[in-house]
Structure 1
Amino acid sequence: MTSLDRRTLFAAGALGAAATAATVGAAPASATSGHGHGKGVVPGADRAAADRWKVLRGRKVGVVTNPTGILRNLRSIVDEMHDSGAVDLHAVFGPEHGFRGTAQAGDAEETYTDPRTGVTVYDAYGATADSLTRMVREAGVDTVVFDIQDVGARFYTYVWTMYTAMRAALRAGASFVVLDRPNPIGGTARGPMMTTAFTTGVGAKEIVQAHGMTVGELARFFDGEFLEAEEGRTLGDRLEVVEVSGWRRDTVFADTGLTWVLPSPNMPTPNTALVYPGTCLFEGTNLSEGRGTTAPFELVGAPFVDHRWAERLVARDVPGVAFREAYFNPVVNKHVGKVCGGVQVHVTDPLRLDGPRLGAEMLVAAKALYADFAWRQDSYDPARPFWVDKLTGSPRLREMVDAGAPADEVVGAWREELAAFDRRRKPYLLYRGGRR
């Protein structure tokens, strides 16, 4: 996503997401689970294409996608749909960075006619449910297709892009089809619950910090749990999920055999996604979360941090990761041009890695060691000034860290609500293997 320091906080229904056109090889230099599951993983888009797009036959289709919406041959699903002659393609709805990924951070491609396909591409970045509904109706669409790679964290806004598109489809009387993709960090739910008072564009509804679902499962959850309360009805049978074949809940991206396409400029590798649900919390502090380096969210630090932070974290023996004392000089974002001391987080066991716990451990240690540690405050929201509260879903984590609570106590505070969410999501899950 774009830097949360630079992003304008959009309404809960806003359509905001980032993408780039760059690709890298299948999960390069990424820790694997060692289980060997998933080499035969086939995303929903590939399954639909292999079936000659039968799921969309006879429909007037609009697609919400970006450069992550590719087949295993690395071609855009929109290009494949168009060239197949089997899909009546009426529109593409481009999020932040646009459908082709040509726009810079915090920007979008203006509405235009795509020269490759002749299809109208609507600028849907920042769209509300109302404005996106108007676009769907203007395009004459009766089926909205969603295909964007998520990374499994509540504050990574593609899932709220999807929720807004679901609301728009419902209002326009259209069907909604999700071409599902694996959750790159696996299928286990972790972390604290969003509370209603702290919902924003980086957490529009009450789900936990690492939801442990694919976007197809989340769409089913959103339809069953939220749409009726917000819209007075659900999509019901008009929601379809083309499932991923060969994916299990204990499979991380490095074990899928798929090619990683950067979902956003600061999500360069699958390992970034693994640590992101925890280290993104440093966006709510005066420490750099590694933006402006070649390892965002893996490098964390500040000019006032020294070797003691790494030493304390190593002693904590945090599951699934190892810490290395590191020094870096960000070229953008916080502490530009300054040498930052800190740590690099190295993934050692993806299935034992609990991102929200990782974040809590690192915050507790930093707060205890450094008098210069501070929470970011935003003047535009005086009632809820602390950004970390918006990321974690409530003031609880911040207040516990300030009070000197140990990491085990911070993590224990969300155990009951996490268990309740795990029970609540079970009817909507589609995939098995490992913890459900």
Structure 2
Amino acid sequence: MKQLVCILLLLCCCFPAFSQQTVITGAERTATYLPLLKGKRVGMLVNQTSILGPSHLVDSLLKSGVHIVKIFSPEHGFRGQADAGEKLGNSTDPATGLPIVSLYGKHRKADSADLADVDLLVFDLQDVGTRFYTYISSLQELMESAAEFNKPLIVLDRPNPNGHYIDGPVLDTAFRSFVGMQPIPTVHGMTVGEYAKMLNGEGWLKGGVQCRLTVITCENYDHNTLYSLPVKPSPNLPNMRSIYLYASTCLFEGTAFSLGRGTDKPFQVYGHPSLPKHLFSFTPRSMPGAKNPVLMNQTCYGYDLSAPSKETVRQINLEYVINAYRLFPDKNKFFNAFFNKLAGNSTLQAQIKAGQSAAAIRQSWEPGLKAFREIRKKYLLYKDF
């Protein structure tokens, strides 16, 4: 018996994952937040990632007697099937009969009519930890509406699958957009609960308003936890490889290249018809979640990054976009107007055009990252990496 205990202790020391407990999300901690919902008319900003065990959070809470009066939906919709950027109108959920108010497109902020019959708001979306993934922008605008109309907001926190590092340029606020609203780096290393606290604490909500915020934290999670998502967060992030590559390959949205939308490897390949024909080839097709992908029905030549890797992703790989620019024959047509919004500045594009190395570009990020790390520390809810 003594020998068995020694073996188990050795395994726990050498292989931390061996002793790692299962992460419990904020949504799963019902005993903590159900009393806060009792007797309230509840509005919920949720989508297909808002799960509680095997069922949707909305279904589970309705069965528990919670009085949900309205669903708010982010980009990709309540069921998460819409294309990136696809504008969805209001609708009714056929499963529950609840009204769904879309908070994406022209109507991004809940107004007085939307909130007239709501006493309390709940936010539960699985983020992927990058500045340009729009769920944190929806969080900010919901917090602003909650503050304006004096509605308390409960954030049910979930782990950040890219929460184990910080990287990228800090956004220049001259380039604010819905894919980058605050001066944070591309990869911010925070959960949505931590980020919500930062929005409040730094006075970043419009007009410096304060939201009455409650964060229901995760258990058995810290910023060294490599968390695998149980549900894909959007149609074109189908697996963990795409989620780990996303911070690097999303930059191709601001170029003439395909990054694999309309294939079975979105955000895991990149290419263009004009690249050398001996390279990896793929052809984007119209499909659910990518109805009209870039370079549809054109054979693209480029690179396949989809092979699983044992190495933990801990930084943005700039070599992909630098290599693509180097190979592209018509340099004047490589970038489009979206690139600077994704980068959060005009500097990165200029650096690539000037032929700067990835190492030199990364070095230019350091002052901004150092300042952000100091701000971030104030709002952490979990042990840092």
- Cα distance, 1:211 vs structure 2: 1.0
Amino acid at match of 1:41: V
Matched, 1:326 2:280: yes
Shift in CA distance, 231/391, structure 1 to aligned 2, threshold 3 Å: same
Amino acid at match of 1:270: M
Matches within 5 A, 1:137-148: 137-138=115-116, 140-148=117-125
| Contact in 2 for aligned 1:136/1:168 (Cα 8 Å) | no
- Cα distance, 1:39 vs structure 2: 4.8
Which of the numbers 91, 106, 125 marks the counterpart of 1:111?
A: 91
Shift in CA distance, 44/398, structure 1 to aligned 2, threshold 3 Å: same
Tell me what 2:319 maps to: 361
Whole-angstrom CA distance in 2 between matches of 1:232 and 1:413: 30
Amino acid at match of 1:53: L
Whole-angstrom CA distance in 1 between matches of 2:299 and 2:104: 35
Whole-angstrom CA distance in 2 between matches of 1:47 and 1:218: 20
Matched, 1:215 2:192: yes
Tell me what 1:245 maps to: 219
| Contact in 2 for aligned 1:253/1:270 (Cα 8 Å) | no
Which of the numbers 252, 277, 281 marks the counterpart of 2:251?
A: 281
User: What TM-score, normalized by structure 1, do the two folds share?
Assistant: 0.77
Which of the numbers 346, 352, 364 marks the counterpart of 1:395?
A: 346
- Cα distance, 1:89 vs structure 2: 1.7
- Cα distance, 1:104 vs structure 2: 5.9
Tell me what 2:377 maps to: 426
Q: What percent of counterpart residues are identical?
A: 36
Cα deviation digits, residues 290-316 of structure 1 (max 9, x gap): 1111001111111222389xxxxxxxx
Shift in CA distance, 342/103, structure 1 to aligned 2, threshold 3 Å: closer
Whole-angstrom CA distance in 2 between matches of 1:339 and 1:126: 32
Cα deviation digits, residues 101-136 of structure 1 (max 9, x gap): 465661325233x4433433223333556x513244
Shift in CA distance, 35/156, structure 1 to aligned 2, threshold 3 Å: farther
Matched, 1:92 2:46: no
> Could you list the runs of 4 or more consecutive aligned residues of structure 1 that deviate by over 6 angstroms after TM superposition?
none
Shift in CA distance, 232/396, structure 1 to aligned 2, threshold 3 Å: closer
Tell me what 1:414 maps to: 365
In structure 2, the gaps of 5 or more residues are 1-14, 287-292
Classify the secondary structure of the residue corresponding to 1:338. coil
In structure 1, the gaps of 5 or more residues are 1-33, 309-324, 378-385
Whole-angstrom CA distance in 1 between matches of 2:80 and 2:325: 38
Matched, 1:205 2:182: yes
Shift in CA distance, 349/211, structure 1 to aligned 2, threshold 3 Å: farther
Which of the numbers 237, 253, 264 marks the counterpart of 1:294?
A: 264
User: What TM-score, normalized by structure 2, do the two folds share?
Assistant: 0.87
Tell me what 1:338 maps to: 298
Whole-angstrom CA distance in 1 between matches of 2:176 and 2:204: 16
Matched, 1:375 2:345: no
Residues paired across the two proteins, number: 361
Higher relative contact order (CA 8 A, sep 6+): 1
Cα deviation digits, residues 314-363 of structure 1 (max 9, x gap): xxxxxxxxxxx5221111422222221111124524534312xx1x2122
Classify the secondary structure of the residue corresponding to 1:193. coil
Whole-angstrom CA distance in 2 between matches of 1:127 and 1:45: 29
Amino acid at match of 2:297: G
Whole-angstrom CA distance in 2 between matches of 1:396 and 1:124: 31
Tell me what 1:13 maps to: none
Classify the secondary structure of the residue corresponding to 1:191. coil
Whole-angstrom CA distance in 2 between matches of 1:187 and 1:215: 14
Whole-angstrom CA distance in 2 between matches of 1:64 and 1:270: 24
| Contact in 2 for aligned 1:38/1:247 (Cα 8 Å) | no
Amino acid at match of 1:159: I
